Structure 1
Amino acid sequence: MSDAKFGLWSVPESPITIEYSLVVIEEIRHEVAEGFQRLSRGGIEVGGILYGTRDGRTVRVLAMRPIACEHARGPGFVLSDKDRVALNEQLPRDQEDPHLEGLISVGWFLSHTRSEITLSESDLEIYSIFFPAPWQVTMVVRPGRAGSMRAGFFVREADGTVKHERSYQEFNFPDRLAGVLDRVPDRPRGERPERRVPSFYRESAAPAPAEPRVQEVPSMYQAAGPQLLRPPTSNRKWTWLALWAVVVIALAVAGLRYWMANSVTEPISLAVIERDGQLQIEWNRAAKPVKNAARGSLDIMDGAEQKTMRLTPAQLASGHFTYARKTGDIEVRMTVEDAAGVKAQEASRFLGRAPAAPASTQELTDLRQRRDELQAEVERLRRENDDQAAKIQQLERTLRVLQARLGIDSAKQ
């Protein structure tokens, strides 16, 4: 294993040692950064399956595949019932992917854009249901400024518990492109990594073959014995090839840098989030299609009702729009158009509980009638109470008069 192509996560407290490909780390960085840019405040969290191999207590991460999340419960990586069904189908489907031949699921990763490197209750639930093997791991990634990212692995202890409060060891992602430079096209599983080395380097270091490979020697050199040894010409040839290879790699790196610098700002990154009963429609106001737009619109399908909201450049620059939803199924399609008529579209969907329906007119009428009846009953009882009080007072006065008369009669006797 080359240190330039793999990283190592190993701590005394952990029963698992993890080796991770820097190419995969770069793919995870791109996935997390893309989600981080989608909303103006904290972005959305993303996740994916980690594929690789296992040898005893050592796990090697060699590939990853994103996990689909509709974010029905907000920007956090919380899987809905629909997401869980999709993940349950994805795991066996990935086994048929020829690029993952010979690899197994060794765990998963997710990003935390609003919290630290810990595992929440929902994270632990996903870990327990979909990645239950004792050696399967979880990696939490925390994005920062200018593409910097911290991460930490979580593993199961010998008794099956998970110390979810913090990772045993956090680490920073290496510099961007550190693993991409060594990336080559996919090769069949089981092929040795050293086959990535160019053939002219292998031949110079390999021992001489048992039999000469005459077919590889040009005929012009076979005809004249002294010309068989021409190391200066061969060296110049390989020198020029090496220089051309350096130029090609430099151009590829420059192109990749440009592509990665621009790819995260191109999507509109439309998202819908419920807050306090209102639907917040948000998009990336820094995206080029939004910044260059002369006009825009939101087509909202709220249940069976459809509405179109026209957006001015000022509204597009705000990056959000508030909508009072009527049902629990809302589909939003955003269209932006620049001065030349070039359009860009994105759609997002919200699924959740329907808002509480307001009381009908008949219900309000019945409630008012019941209120009036109760008020009339209270007034009647109050009047009866006043009448009874007056009667009691009258009887008390009569009683006092009778008592006074009885006292006078007794004195006369």
Structure 2
Amino acid sequence: MDQQHQTTASAPEPEKPAGTAYLYEIPGKPMSIYVDFDLIDRLGFEIMRGFGAVPRRGAEVGGILLGSAETGERTVLRIEDFVPVDCEHMRGPSYILSETDLHNLDEAIAKWTPAPDKRIHVVGFYRSNTRDVMQLAPEDLTLLEKRFPMQTAICLLVKPYATRASEATFFYRENGEFPSDPAQQTFPFRRKELGGGKPARRPRGVEVADPELETAATGYNLTVEEPQLPQHPEPVELPALAALSLNGLAAAGPRNQSAIDQALPDPLPRSKYRSGWIWIPLSFIFLLLGVVLGFQIALSYKSQKAPDAATDPYLLDLTLVQFGENLHLKWNTDTLAFRNAKRGILHIQDGDNSKTVELKQEDLSRGGVLYRNATNNVKFRLEIFPRDRNSVAESLETRILEEAKPSQAAK
């Protein structure tokens, strides 16, 4: 059996190196699709960027898939790269191409048309899906029919989520036509959930600017922290007296005690103040000083003691930080309220727009969400349910100064 992660068990197929690709199959269908984990990482970045660009729904992105196809008793596709094709979004956040967009798509397809000198070529079409149902829209079917006429052409749809891994599915021709019904089978579109393991390096073409985004796209934090070297203390020189004594000992030897005596200095004369009576008042002063210092230290510890968040049943401990062009809302999962929380609801008021996100127990355990704000006035309200009929809620509002907010590129 192929050693790569599979959706279902099947007869042995031509293998790629273990651990480099995910194998997608549907039982009873003569189609095997290998998807490079590196492509999943990079395409995940592009899709999550678009998802965070527009409030509420997120903007869809799309383009062409590159790879190779082997036909025979069983069709085997290998997807290794992609080329994004920008959309003007003249009809809203959906990926519906204008005439200019279609012209750019035709140029990309022409550049990657199969040829003897090309190892990879266009094998299909992809787009993200921020709509309610995972299915091909009428404009998708028209696009695939006119511009992807090859029998082995495929279409990849990826549905992004704010708090969990994206979901994906493939569509391909059956009896010469693409299906128009909703997808019956999906798979998580993220390396971590597919068993690809943490990559040894950041995917090519991906900048280091947003670690939160890379975690959402790959499931891993790829930011490598430089190891801190231990700081060694400066070498301490031996006192001159010790050096002198050792030198004198080495030079004199065991039989010349007079040389050792000459190397050592004369003992200090006895001070006239070493009488016993002087220590009585000094001891009393030190004792009084110790009592005063101890009292002051105890007061400082008492005043600095923070309230125990783990014992407050109504504390969610919401915090908000601005990270690049995003807002990162965090909560303290160590508080008592989160220990038995089964689900939650996050309400977001972004200017005049409102959005509600359902949070599962695994979403709450992550301790935060990333949100791309559209206005400078954003209000969050997190409500969690330790029991079915009881809930705990906490709100947080932020106002961002114009000069402090990074400029956003128009999309």
**TM-score interval, normalised by the smaller of the two chains:** 0.3 to 0.5
Structure with max Cα Rg: 1
TM-score normalized with structure 2 length? 0.46
Say which structure is richer in helix.
1
